Structure 1
Amino acid sequence: MDSDFLYFVEHVASCPNLTEEYLSDLWISLFKSHQQNRFGKPMPWIGMYITLASLICILAMVADLLHGLRNRKLWFPCKYFTLNAASLTVIAVAIKLPMDLTNLMPSYEDQATKLGSVSFMCAIMSNLLPSLATMNSKELVTNMIALGVLVITLVVNVCIQINTGVLSYHEDETVVRIGFNDGGSTLFYPSVSFMLTITYVVVLLMLLIIYACSSLAILKSKQILESKYQTAHQTTLKDQELQQPSVEKLKQHVNNYWIMAKTGSPQFMTASFATTSASGVICALTTLVHIWGMSIFRIPHIKDFKSDYLWLMLVIRIVQLIGVVLGTIAPLARCFAALTFKLSVKWIWRHIKVFKVESYWTQKLSDWKYSSIPFPSSSRQCMIVIQTLKILILNICIGFQLIVVVACKIITLIPIFFVICVLYCLRCWKWLKAMFRVSRVNLEQNPEEQLGKDKDLSRYVLQLQDDMEFPERTLKGILKSVNHLIQKAEKRQPNNLMKLLAESRGFEGVEKFDSHHVPPLLSEEYLNCWSMALVTLTTIAMSLPNIQKNIVDRLLISGVREGLVYVTLVEESLNGTDDHVSIQNAAKTVWPEVEVYHTWLGNKLQTPDPQVNTAGQILQWLSNTAKKMVIKDEGVRTGVPNDNSKWRCISANSMYRLTETILLSYHEDIDQLSQEQLFVQISLMTADILAACLTNLPQVIAIKCHTRAIEKREASVHAAAQLLGEATKIINTLQERELPCLDPDELASIDKWRAYLNDPFL
């Protein structure tokens, strides 16, 4: 650059008749050009930033594809790539090229890359549409406003660039022609760029309108599905007795809620919308146009890109082209999946014959139309004007909504005819198989088929339209997925926990682990909880040096580790009060220290003191250490504890009570108690406490099946089905035991168990 500049100065200086004003203007122009080149040096780094943001979007879309395939959800719900503040920020970075108003794209290859970013945005919007259903009303409005601002800004910026000529500028100021075989047809690059730009702008606006229309339908559809869910929920509660049901009854219960959760899933509902199917078709057509447009230009080379982004323009173009292609799969698959879910010859004929617009598309607008609004003025004339304007505007919106829905249903005719051909091909194939007797009859009925015959499950199907018949194949697929999930979870049985539970013969350990005769150590006594009792007992067992480490690890630590997973679920589901949560948090804090480092509140286990050898001495040392900790913690006693001191105090108090209970139970015979005998006793108490706690698992499964938030309902039932599969052996093992005569809520409390076992007649 410097050598060229000096050569130019020498050449100009040798030219005669140059005025001072001309040289000054020339100098300023050269200086500006030099500064522009200087300012453009960081642009390759920005290009890397754009590439990284594009890759993040693509990876998120691919993750959703894999998640849908893995879980057999061919409507590909949005789990990883959803519409939120983070994704909008990444998308804004990925589409920076068309947002740039002034940075020149000197070559046609640079301009094609810029247009590719607009097409990439179209694919992104088509992928994100089902994620609208996962939001509540406030989130939906907020994210729609943010998306609308982003899309409108992009459209305006692209239109400005069309007007200013940035998208058609070429540094050579020449027009390259492409000849075709017809001999006379020619096509100019600027014409192709202009046509593609207008196409993408129109598609973006269409998708934004589809987003707005879908959002209005989602708000009302959720209310309809929620009402039907509550009705089906009451029906299920009447059919099930969940005091201590068998595994088969629990499977039936989970199946019922699985059907309700799947068919009433907001994303499943949105996937069946005409707008979603239309967006899939639009995305596919846009991708075809984009591929055709890119093929018009010659195969790019690094030297063809002359913008300040340099060779990164080629990387951005390739990455975003891959994103456009991959981004078409999910929207198009949703379109065909939606037709498959509800497709029948009767439905096709009805769809073609009458484009009926269901009430939920316009019901929200109608509700706003007839609702009252607070008027800032008490003037009657002003109120009349505002009310009239509101009704007029909403009438226009309702009419526009109807037009959009009908247009989307017309667009869905394209895949409908394709699916009709596929259905007829399948019928012909079945006919051929029957003719040549190739088909084999499966004599063993699948569990889901038998279940469908034993009970009518159609009443648990949630649909927006009552007059639509839900396809049987879709229902079977839903049942097959839950059975597959349960069977898969059954292969992950907690074997170490089962070995520990095999040591239990009853529930005596629940009665004996803590005695009422132990004097209170704190002025404010805390409640007992399952997890703290288990952690404390395990800590005592680990402090016995004569017990082999592998026996402790195999029998207690591994079993308690697996058991605490289910104990935590019981406590979180059934014991959610503040008093219980405090001691549960204390147990969660202490357990990693005990399990990993084999220490308890900073004290190393198994080597407390050379003079501490017998079981009684170890118990006394633990009791004294715990007592000193509680007394020393003045913050707890003054009522101004922090979380750490509070949890230490709770844990120390539990240790004091349990060790004193064991010491009290032996009295003067404590010196004859061996470490082996103490370990056996602790193991039995631990097994009994685990068994008593895990009798609540059926109730936990039932609770997890039902949740109030419609957006979280499917994930909650999924967790319940997985828990049922993992806990099948546990439930069967504890099924034959006689439980205390307590209410279901009382069975979740270890203190209620202790009170009943101490005196059943209270």
Structure 2
Amino acid sequence: MLWIGIYIALASLLCTLAMVADLVHGIRNKKLWFPCKFFTLNAASLAVIAVAIKLPMDLNNLMPGYMDQDVKIGSLAFMCTMMANLLPSLATMDNKELLTNIIALGVLVITLVVNVFIQIKTGLLSLHKYQDKLFKTASDGKDQSTNMYVYAHRYGIAATFYLGMLLMLLIIYACSSIAILKSKQILDSKYKGCHETTLKNLESVGSLTVEKLKHHVRSHWIMAGSSSPQFVTVCSATTSASGVICVCSAALAVLLVHLTIGYLRDYKSDYKWSTLVIFITQFIGVILGTIAPLVRCFANLSFDLSNKWKWNHMNVFKVESYWTQKLCDWKHSIIPFSISSRKSKIIIQKLVSVILSVCVEFQKIVVVACKMIALIPMFLMISVLYCTRCWKRMKPMFTYGGIILVNTREHGDMFADLRKYVLTLEEDVELAERTLKYITKSVNVVIRKAEMQQPNNLLKLLEGFNGFKGVGEYDSLHVAPLHSKDHLNCWSLTLVTLTTIAVSLPTIPQKVIDGLLSSVSEGLVYVTLVEETFNARQEYVSMQKAAKVLWLQVEVYHKWLGNELMELATHVKTAKQILECFRDAAENMTSEVESSKICANSMYHTTKAILYSYHATIDMVSKQELFNELSSMITDILAACLTNLPQVVAKKCHTEVIEKREAGVLAAAHLLGETMQIINTLQDHQIRSLNTDEMPFVDKWCAYHVNHPFA
């Protein structure tokens, strides 16, 4: 039993660390509404939570000591804290996951409530063992029986309060889930309309400069941030109510700890001293886990309360349509019956309609109750804001000799252009200017941080870029493919093939070789992004996978399809012989592995094309000259591919799945910051004859240079 207790303590520690990780993540990313990233509701977390709350579930083991009783009550407080922290994670799930996890959580909570209720009724959660001693009259002759009775039954009373809190949180979970289903549909519809508008605006501006891309990223950041399901859920009355419940739970836990601080070593169960470890771990989890729900209580301050929020009974008792719309839709939908009796269908349909009507009214009651609970932090924060503003007005009187400085500048038009990208559930609600400014600054911070992570080796390689002539030099229409009738190229495989030949050349200084490998390695990161964004056909995907496998061999093991590059170089003396050696190795490749055949075909085609382009002068080409020519081709091909980066950034801003939009825009902002200098470098070197649809394909570039050899 001792080891089981340690196991429970470890599970509790894991839950605490997950809550703290979300807390730190929110602070580091300046998201003080603390989105759930590490501590989310899923099968794994439910399993760990079930272990952490095992003690209040235990009906078989007597736990008569003070600490034994305290740890059971502490587990209930810990469960309340975890549920309050997990609530925003409901918004990250699709409909099926939401239903499954809510049912699983409901089963767990109801089981816990029933088990604790049984313990209250049977006396397991009270101090019956000590009642005779506690009910004695004190030596001074005064009757203290009433106080002792309350003291003896404080565990049962506290447990009853916690059961009520757990049931309230479970009801809040169910009501929030119903609202989330509809709110996602509303926000998704608004997002798609706004995205189409921004896309049309982007297409009408011509070439995508860095400033235009910044505006595009910023607008989508606001769209994704303001319509984030977690953000909208946190700003709801149910989340504020859950935060208040969590704070009350923590306050009660602190009070009980204060009352039994002198009995920390009074553990008499089979779990022995592990109960103390569990108690300390879970109490720390309660204290730290209360921070995020407490801050979320004030999430509605994202709206300008001083100007936009009207304090009247209609706002408090008004239930917005998205809270009940999903239930109404279910009520008016046709239920598929497998029975043939018409009367049975009518009875079932009416029964379902009545049940859903009751659910609609119950949902309204819960929402109104949550709004009333949410008034507590609202009143507190408004009082703080009022005092703060009064102080700001009075402070200049003391600072500037009684002259009150009033800033009369209107800020309304400052963010007018960005405000149109804010998406809210209700048309008459606006995001406060300070919140809009904060969201805008946050994306600027991401871009600035990414600017500090520029691919320096790649930029150094691109310094020698002077056009796209090298894109067509490695390809030739006069070379027949080795293994297929139709020869296809992809950016990454072409680059890896050319780099393989270049790094195998002897007499080239190792420092130069390492520099080329580092530059191509950095470039392939962005080349892969271009290919994943535009070249999604199966044949291209196969080539891209083959290129990744081959690059691992070349960069790490200095091999090409199992052949040591240094051994290939030792058997040749001239540049022509090196090309012929790779050509023959590719032609004689007998492997049936698909990736090996693809790599061999690319090497054969590339070496033949280079040999053909030199014609009779190949014998006079030195190894250094061949290396310089290959480096120039690699640079030109990289530059041609990376001209598609603005389109990649624009496309990454948009994601169909609403739960992944914030992550998509974050990736786009980071990519823009990293590649800003590359985009500026290549901005004036684009080939206007190639349209936007052709630019992502290396074959189109090659065909263009074959037809325009002097371009």
Which TM-score bucket, shorter chain as reference?
over 0.9
3-state SS, counterpart of residue 115 of structure 1: helix
3-state SS, counterpart of residue 79 of structure 1: coil
1:49 alignment partner AA:
Y
| Distance (Å, rounded) in 1 between the aligned partners of 2:576 and 2:223 | 57
Between 123-132 and 466-475, report the one with greater CA deviation.
466-475
2:334 alignment partner AA:
S
Match of 2:544 among 579, 584, 587: 584
| Distance (Å, rounded) in 1 between the aligned partners of 2:645 and 2:411 | 26
RMSD: 2.5
Q: Deviations over 1:96-137 (max 9, x none)?
A: 111111011121210111111111011000000000000111
Between 469-478 and 398-407, report the one with greater CA deviation.
469-478
* 1:423–1:172 distance in 2 versus 1, CA, 3 Å: closer
Is 1:387 paired with 2:349? Answer: yes
3-state SS, counterpart of residue 736 of structure 1: helix
Q: Deviations over 1:529-562 (max 9, x none)?
A: 11111111111111012101111112x1111111
Between 132-141 and 455-464, report the one with greater CA deviation.
455-464
| Distance (Å, rounded) in 2 between the aligned partners of 1:741 and 1:499 | 28
Aligned to 1:663: 611
Between 576-585 and 732-741, report the one with greater CA deviation.
732-741
Is 1:502 paired with 2:460? Answer: no
Indicate the structure (1 or 2) with the bigger Cα radius of gyration.
1
* 1:177–1:412 distance in 2 versus 1, CA, 3 Å: farther
3-state SS, counterpart of residue 540 of structure 1: helix
1:167 alignment partner AA:
L
2:279 alignment partner AA:
R
Please say if residues 131 and 152 of structure 2, whose CA atoms lie closer than 8 Å, have aligned partners that are also in contact. Answer: no
Please say if residues 308 and 429 of structure 2, whose CA atoms lie closer than 8 Å, have aligned partners that are also in contact. Answer: no
Please say if residues 545 and 607 of structure 1, whose CA atoms lie closer than 8 Å, have aligned partners that are also in contact. Answer: no
1:90 alignment partner AA:
V
| Distance (Å, rounded) in 2 between the aligned partners of 1:461 and 1:156 | 45
Aligned to 1:467: 428
Is 1:619 paired with 2:559? Answer: no
Q: Deviations over 1:188-243 (max 9, x none)?
A: 44410001110111111000000000000000000110111111112212222375
* 1:585–1:526 distance in 2 versus 1, CA, 3 Å: farther
- Identity, % of aligned positions: 59
* 1:352–1:424 distance in 2 versus 1, CA, 3 Å: farther
1:664 alignment partner AA:
Y
Mapping 1:592-631, distance limit 5 Å: 592-608=552-568, 610-629=570-589
Q: Deviations over 1:28-60 (max 9, x none)?
A: xxxxxxxxxxxxxxx111111111111111111
* 1:615–1:455 distance in 2 versus 1, CA, 3 Å: farther
3-state SS, counterpart of residue 310 of structure 1: coil
Match of 2:59 among 101, 112, 118: 101
Mapping 1:664-683, distance limit 5 Å: 664-683=612-631
Q: Deviations over 1:304-359 (max 9, x none)?
A: 11111111111100000000111111111111133344422541514686421100
Mapping 1:690-729, distance limit 5 Å: 690-729=638-677
* 1:313–1:454 distance in 2 versus 1, CA, 3 Å: closer
3-state SS, counterpart of residue 306 of structure 1: coil
Aligned to 1:646: 594
| Distance (Å, rounded) in 1 between the aligned partners of 2:619 and 2:500 | 21
Q: CA deviation at 1:387?
A: 1.6
Mapping 1:505-524, distance limit 5 Å: 505-524=466-485
* 1:353–1:344 distance in 2 versus 1, CA, 3 Å: same
Is 1:377 paired with 2:335? Answer: no
* 1:522–1:673 distance in 2 versus 1, CA, 3 Å: same
1:426 alignment partner AA:
T
| Distance (Å, rounded) in 2 between the aligned partners of 1:352 and 1:431 | 32
* 1:608–1:437 distance in 2 versus 1, CA, 3 Å: same
Aligned to 1:756: 704
Match of 2:507 among 542, 546, 566: 546
* 1:353–1:539 distance in 2 versus 1, CA, 3 Å: closer
Mapping 1:409-420, distance limit 5 Å: 409-420=371-382
| Distance (Å, rounded) in 2 between the aligned partners of 1:54 and 1:256 | 41
Aligned to 2:684: 736
Aligned to 2:22: 64
Between 181-190 and 139-148, report the one with greater CA deviation.
181-190
| Distance (Å, rounded) in 1 between the aligned partners of 2:16 and 2:91 | 21
Please say if residues 300 and 314 of structure 1, whose CA atoms lie closer than 8 Å, have aligned partners that are also in contact. Answer: no
2:678 alignment partner AA:
I
Is 1:570 paired with 2:523? Answer: no
Q: CA deviation at 1:172?
A: 6.4
Aligned to 1:286: 249
| Distance (Å, rounded) in 2 between the aligned partners of 1:526 and 1:67 | 48
Aligned to 2:445: 484
Q: TM-score, normalised by structure 1?
A: 0.88
| Distance (Å, rounded) in 2 between the aligned partners of 1:313 and 1:537 | 65
Please say if residues 33 and 292 of structure 2, whose CA atoms lie closer than 8 Å, have aligned partners that are also in contact. Answer: yes
Match of 1:277 among 204, 228, 240: 240
* 1:292–1:298 distance in 2 versus 1, CA, 3 Å: same
Is 1:238 paired with 2:196? Answer: no
* 1:308–1:756 distance in 2 versus 1, CA, 3 Å: same
2:382 alignment partner AA:
I
| Distance (Å, rounded) in 2 between the aligned partners of 1:729 and 1:417 | 49
Please say if residues 316 and 371 of structure 2, whose CA atoms lie closer than 8 Å, have aligned partners that are also in contact. Answer: no
| Distance (Å, rounded) in 2 between the aligned partners of 1:233 and 1:313 | 55
| Distance (Å, rounded) in 2 between the aligned partners of 1:168 and 1:515 | 88
Q: Deviations over 1:645-704 (max 9, x none)?
A: 111111121111111221222233222211100110011001000100010011001101
| Distance (Å, rounded) in 2 between the aligned partners of 1:244 and 1:215 | 44
| Distance (Å, rounded) in 2 between the aligned partners of 1:77 and 1:440 | 41
3-state SS, counterpart of residue 344 of structure 1: coil
Please say if residues 331 and 352 of structure 2, whose CA atoms lie closer than 8 Å, have aligned partners that are also in contact. Answer: yes
Between 292-301 and 136-145, report the one with greater CA deviation.
292-301
Number of aligned residue pairs: give it: 701
Aligned to 2:108: 150
* 1:452–1:539 distance in 2 versus 1, CA, 3 Å: farther
* 1:151–1:588 distance in 2 versus 1, CA, 3 Å: same
Match of 1:166 among 107, 112, 124: 124
| Distance (Å, rounded) in 1 between the aligned partners of 2:75 and 2:322 | 35
Q: CA deviation at 1:757?
A: 1.8
Q: CA deviation at 1:398?
A: 0.6
Aligned to 1:21: none
| Distance (Å, rounded) in 1 between the aligned partners of 2:306 and 2:133 | 54
Mapping 1:108-507, distance limit 5 Å: 108-168=66-126, 174-176=132-134, 184=144, 186-188=147-149, 189-241=151-203, 244-302=207-265, 304-350=266-312, 354-436=316-398, 453=414, 456-507=417-468
* 1:299–1:74 distance in 2 versus 1, CA, 3 Å: same
Q: CA deviation at 1:740?
A: 4.2
| Distance (Å, rounded) in 1 between the aligned partners of 2:171 and 2:54 | 23
Please say if residues 487 and 725 of structure 1, whose CA atoms lie closer than 8 Å, have aligned partners that are also in contact. Answer: yes
| Distance (Å, rounded) in 1 between the aligned partners of 2:116 and 2:191 | 46
| Distance (Å, rounded) in 2 between the aligned partners of 1:369 and 1:288 | 41
Aligned to 1:92: 50
Please say if residues 503 and 687 of structure 1, whose CA atoms lie closer than 8 Å, have aligned partners that are also in contact. Answer: yes
| Distance (Å, rounded) in 1 between the aligned partners of 2:413 and 2:653 | 20
Please say if residues 508 and 688 of structure 1, whose CA atoms lie closer than 8 Å, have aligned partners that are also in contact. Answer: yes
3-state SS, counterpart of residue 104 of structure 1: coil
| Distance (Å, rounded) in 1 between the aligned partners of 2:454 and 2:214 | 17
